[in-house]
Chain A
Amino acid sequence: MNTSIMIVGVGGQGTLLASRILGNTAIRCGYDVKVSEVHGMSQRGGSVVTYVRFGDEKVASPIIGEASADIIMAFEQLEAYRSIDYLKKNGRLLVNAQQIDPMPVIIGKAKYPENILSKIEEKGINIISVDALSLARSAGSEKAVNVVLIGLLAKNTDIEKGIWEEVIKETVPPKFLDINLKAFNLGYSI
């Protein structure tokens, strides 16, 4: 069986690096892998979605369809909420509890929905939320939110912890390695 993981967030939050670490980890395990990224205009603070699919069987579509994601890793609450129809029955939703107002909310043309996490839970969705921003800060950089979430994701897969750490070592610049490994471990120990 192949695994489908969707990463959703706001352009600029580092979802691309997260999908690359995940993709490289899957390769290290000997799986067939496809990663679909978003570049260009939507990266400018818009909703961004990347897909990672891997497993023993050949992966055909790089895109994940409705009700087909095993795990959704959300970098932001509203984007988590927007994506729930892509989650499989019994799939897991990993959410960074951060809230980022989109422009229609900032200028008063729309309201940011209240109590998103409890609304999602009421739908019977298996949800794990984390304050990844605080954890990233304590690891040494706000920018490490993505790697905190990778840590949490790692905990929720069957892939060995050491493989993730090796891939992080190869993917991030050496001067940020310590911060990123710390961030990974903070996410992993939730």
Chain B
Amino acid sequence: MKEIMLGNHAVARGAYEAGVKVASAYPGTPSTEIMEYMATLPCPHVEWAPNEKVAAETAIGSSIAGGRAICAMKHVGLNVAADPLFTAAYTGVNAGLLICVADDPGMHSSQNEQDSRNYARAAKVIMLEPSDSNECYIYAKNAFSLSEKFDLPVILRLSTRVSHSQSLVETGEREEFSKPYEKNPGKYVMMPAMAKRRHPELENILTEVKNYAQDCEFNKIEYHDKKIGIITSGITYQYAKEALGDKASYLKLGMVYPLPEKLISEFSKNVDTLYVAEELDDFFEEYIKSLGIKVIGKEAFTKIGEYSADLIRKVILKEEQKGTAPDEALPARPPVMCAGCPHRGTFYALKSLGLTVCGDIGCYTLGTLEPLASVDSCVCMGASIGLAHGMDKAIENSSKKTVAVLGDSTFIHSGITGLINVVYNKGNTTVIILDNSITGMTGHQDNPLTGKTIKGEPTKQVNLVMLCKAIGVENVRIADPFNIEQFKKVVSEEIEKDEPSVIIAQRPCALLKSVKYEGKMTVTDKCIGCKMCLKIGCPAIHFKDGHALIDKTQCNGCGFCQQICKLKALGKEEA
């Protein structure tokens, strides 16, 4: 059947049809929809893992047991899963193992734009890269037999524009697959004696894969006009086709590691001018140049951001299309915390207390932007606690003016180890866990704190208070960030203590269906236009003609603004 599918959905569909038994992921844009969609299919086991490392390990376990397995993550998630990845190359697989990783060139929703192709080379595994939804489906489906053929994990590298574009896919039926489990410590126990035998084995396998890459189904040459030749892959192939059509010839690499030496040199001999078009790093270029082949790459293109058909047209054809632009500079529209967002209360409090805030990854990173502007740092998932602890140890008494702030799901992902470190090493850090009852930024996924699985089934729920107490935090308090004075009091008291503290800022995400505030806010004639209410950065409060104005299409009636207005000029209409 032919249907229009999101790239991520097509990946899940392909893996499902290949008979996948176990599927595990931690959500992260732009990879999230792979597992969300898998959960809608009758795949035997689908789950959200607490982090990417656990997701990868679960998939490796299934593969060793003889069940084909898939795990999925965003590019930075592969950093978390890198430890099992590198050794899974040594153990190899029993049933096929597919690791999906979605890069984010242009950083639509990420903290860096690392190029995951480097991982394939570093970990010595096969990497495939599709360029549209149909290829997502085919590559994912065929990756398992490829993985089994070479006894090696396969990484499927996606990017934002492939993951989040929809195009037509010809789907098929699921075929069940399983292999028997056989105990084999020489292959699956990677202690030095065994690993020393596996490493040369791995190098031999890679040589075999390299030979296979010369004429495999994933790499294709398309000859048209031979004056220009382009070596490319993934979404950049689509941009090149759009820009140049039949005016160029293409070597489209579907297998981006290992690279096909003979195919590249054959193609280079048949074209007059050779370009390599690849987003981010000069991964192909370095290799091609190492073969002594003359190629134009990053000196004409860029290592930064997304490519486009426009860019390729400009570089290769020296053609530019210009539209009519506005004559004035336009105000930017950065993302904001939603109307009714509970994080608004937390950051308003932290700003008014003048604290240094070690932030983390999630919707609440938006606490960095004006007007709340209270976050000082944000590095990676779970880093807030380590950063605050490090600051505490570097500057005496800094724990009295510093807090770590992270979301509930982020805390479970990798914040917990940081907190154990604080307790163990006699730190005084105060950690604020934003418990909004859901994984917010990636679009509402359940996690170990929500009491529901990916399929919405009830399960055991981690008790945050008991967890923190069990690791030795004596001071654990729950506070409502929308009760602003009380919340500030709790924070002020906890940072003063010469012990670690955890404050659980509890209030659900405003976008949850279960969250309903009665009525919408109104501005009464007591408003004198002092603009205090604008300091909370609510997108529903505007300022017109000397007074505050409520945008009723956005206001959800949370009432937080009423606590800020000293003149009590904000009322509420009858529900």
A binding-site residues for B, Cβ under 8 Å = 10-12, 20, 23-24, 27, 32-47, 59-63, 65-68, 78-79, 81-82, 84-88, 100-113, 119, 123-125, 133, 142
Chain B residues with CB under 8 A of A60: 238-239, 241-242, 309
CB distance A81 to B323 under 8 Å? no
Q: Main SS of chain B's interface residues?
A: loop
B177 located at the interface, meaning its Cβ lies under 8 Å from any Cβ of chain A in the complex: no
Judge whether B166 and A35 touch: CB under 8 Å.
yes
Chain A residue numbers with a CB within 8 Å of B239 are 60-61, 63
B185 at interface by CB-CB < 8 Å: no
Minimum distance in angstroms from B6 CB to a CB of chain A: 7
Q: Is B326 an interface residue (CB 8 A)?
A: yes
On whether the beta carbons of B323 and A107 are closer than 8 Å, the reply is: no
A78 touches B333 (CB 8 A): yes
A24–B109 touching, CB < 8 Å? no
A84 and B324 contacting across the interface, CB-CB below 8 Å: yes
Please determine whether A40 and B442 come into contact, CB atoms closer than 8 angstroms. Answer: yes
Q: In the complex where A40-B29, A40-B109 touch, is A68 in contact with B321 (Cβ < 8 A)?
A: yes
- Give the nearest-CB partner of A65 in chain B: B310
The residue from A36, A43, A82, A107 contacting B371, defined by CB atoms under 8 A apart: A107
Contact A104 B332 (CB under 8 A): yes
Query: Is there contact, CB below 8 Å, between B333 and A85?
Result: no
Q: Determine if B108 and A41 form an interchain contact, defined as CB atoms under 8 angstroms apart.
A: yes
User: How many Å lie between the Cα of A11 and that of B108 in the bound state?
Assistant: 13
Residues of B within 8 A of A108 (CB): 531, 534, 543
What residues of chain B lie closer than 8 Å to A111, measured between beta carbons? 331
Q: Which residues of B contact A34 (CB under 8 A)?
A: 132, 165-167
Which residues from A are CB-within-8-Å of B109? 39-42
Could you tell me if A109 and B370 are in contact, using CB atoms closer than 8 angstroms?
yes
On whether A81 and B326 interact (CB within 8 A), knowing A35-B165, A38-B164, A44-B363, the answer reads yes
Q: B334 near A: Cβ within 8 Å?
A: yes
**Across the two chains, which residue of chain A brings its CB closest to B107?**
A41
With A11-B335, A63-B309: A125-B324 Cβ-Cβ less than 8 Å: yes
Compute how far the CA of A113 lies from the CA of B30 in the bound complex, rounded to whole angstroms: 33
CB of B541 within 8 Å of the partner chain:
yes
Residue contact B332 to A33, C-beta cutoff 8 Å: no
Q: Quick one: closest A residue to B538, CB to CB?
A: A106
Q: A78 to B337, Cβ gap below 8 A?
A: no
Q: Is the CB of B168 within 8 A of A33?
A: yes
**Among candidates A35, A39, A133, residue contacting B30 with C-beta atoms closer than 8 Å:** A39
CB atoms of B309 and A65 under 8 A apart:
yes
A22 to chain B, nearest CB (A): 11
Contact of A66 among B321, B331, B338 (CB under 8 A): B321
Chain B residue with the shortest CB-CB distance to A12: B338
- Cβ contact within 8 Å between A45 and B108: no
B386 CB to nearest A CB, Å: 23
Q: Give every chain B residue within 8 A of A40 (Cβ-Cβ).
A: 29-30, 108-109, 441-443
Please name the 5 residue pairs, one residue from A and one from B, whose CB atoms are nearest each other, closest first.
Answer: A40-B109, A40-B29, A85-B323, A46-B335, A110-B331
Closest to A100 in B: B551
Q: Is B161 an interface residue (CB 8 A)?
A: yes
